[in-house]
Amino acid sequence: MLLTDMETGQSGKIVAVLGGYILTTRLDSLGIRKGQEITKISSSLMRGPVVIQVGTMQTAIGFGMAHKIEVEISPYSSME
């Protein structure tokens, strides 16, 4: 499942970043990399930024970046 398809409040583990070197380097600098636990905090109605939490850090990334992050949903993920 892609990060953009997750519901607000859902958590999961990043299984792949479907992008090239520049995208993976940019996400890596934010601590967003394969194997990390991630929670979707909020997103805009249309194609706006997506707010996520990785560890104790919250950050907003663009819809295009979020659409290239593949996540395996945690079975114990809480949804609002």
Model confidence, pTM: 0.87
Task: Tell me if 58 is assigned to some domain.
Answer: yes
Task: State how many domains the chain has.
Answer: 1
Give 52's strand partners.
40, 59
Looking at the DSSP bridge assignments, the partners of residue 51 are 42, 60
Residue 58 sits in a domain of what CATH number?
2.30.30.90
Instruction: Note whether residue 78 is domain-resident.
Output: no
Per residue in 30-61, pLDDT (tens digit) is: 999 999 999 999 988 788 899 999 999 999 99
Does some domain include residue 25? yes
For 37, the domain range is: 3-73
Q: What is the DSSP letter of 11?
A: E
Residue-wise pLDDT tens digits, 54-67: 999 999 999 999 99
In a domain, 80, yes or no: no
